[in-house]
Amino acid sequence: MKILTSDPARFANLPDYDFQEHWITIDLGEGYSGRMHYIDEGPKDAPPVLLFHGEPSWSFLYRKMIPVLLDAGFRCLAPDLIGFGKSDKPDDIAFYTYDRHISWLRQWRDAVVPAPAALFCQDWGGLLGLRLVGEEPDRFACVVASNTFLPTGGTPSPAFLAWRQFAKSSPEFEIGELLQRATATERTPEEVAAYDAPFPDEASKAGARAFPQLVPVEDGMDGIEQNTKAWEGLAAFDKPFLTLFGADDPVTGGLGKTLSERIKGAEGMPHEILSTCGHFCQEDRPKELADGVVFAAKKAGML
C-alpha cells in the first residue's frame, strides 16, 4: 500500500478558499502514518466549532459558512478526513474502516482542540461526529446535524443502495460532478474543479469509494455494535441539538425527525427542513446553517 500526498498545484487559486494550511501527523495503523490537513481560523481563545465534512467532499465545502461563524466570534476548525482533501490518502480501499476513521479523527481532535466545542456535521461527518458525541458527550457544547445519522443496521433505502453500488463499481467516479448533481443550486466550473482537485487519479479515490461500503445500514455490519453503544450517550445528550435537513436530499429523508425525537437536547429546538437544499447543504444554504450553529451555541452559553 502507498500513502499518497496531494500536489499543492492542484489547490492553487480555489474560489473563496484562501485559508491558511495546518497539518498534523496521524498514526494510521499497521505501521503507517499520514498527514491530516485542517483549517483553523479565528482567535485561539474563541469558542471552537468543529466542521466535519462527509463523502466525497472536503473542507472546501465549508468556505461559505466559515466567514459567518468567524463574524459571530467562533474559532473554526475543519479537518480534511484521511483520504480526502489535502490530507494524505492510503490507496488501498480495504485499509479504510469505520473504526480507523474514528481513531484518525479522534487523534486530530485530542491534539488540536481538547476543549468542549460546538459541532456541525453532515453526511459521514455525522457518522463520525455523532459517534464521538455519544462516546464523549462532555466534550461537546452543542450540535447541529444536517443530512446525516448514526445508523445501527436495518433496511437501507433504495437511493442509498444505488449510491453504494455506483461508488463501488462505476468506472466513472467524477467527484466534482457528483457534488454538482447532489446540490439544489448550480456550482460554477471553478467550484466543480475544486472538488476534483484532491482526486487526480483512480488510486487517490480509494477513500471516496470505500466510505459508502462502510455505512452500517444492514444487520451484521461492522460499526453496528459501537454505534448502538454510542446511541446511549447520544440519546441522553441534554445540551442544544438542532437538526437542519435539506428538502431535496433523497438519501437522508426523514432521518432528521428521528434524531430530533430520540435526543434529549433536541426537545424544543427549532428544527427545520430547508427548501432548495440538496444533500450538500453547505453549498445550498450556508447562511442558514451557520445561523443555526450560532443559535445553538448561544443557547449553550458559548457566545
Which residues are catalytically annotated?
123, 249, 279
Do residues 152 and 132 lie in contact, with contact meaning Cβ atoms separated by under 8 Å? no
Distances in Å between the alpha carbon of 11 and those of 17, 39, 96, 193? 9, 14, 24, 10
Cα separation of 260 and 258, whole Å? 6
Run of H or E residues at 79: strand 75-79
Do residues 130 and 230 lie in contact, with contact meaning Cβ atoms separated by under 8 Å? yes
Cα separation of 264 and 266, whole Å? 5
Cα separation of 89 and 93, whole Å? 10
Cα separation of 76 and 265, whole Å? 23
Question: Among all chains, which residue has been given the C-alpha cell 433523497?
Answer: 250
CB atoms within 10 A of CB 295: 18
CB atoms within 10 A of CB 13: 8
Distances in Å between the alpha carbon of 29 and those of 34, 92, 104, 130, 273? 10, 13, 9, 23, 40
Of 101, 105, 162, nearest in space to 139 by CA: 105
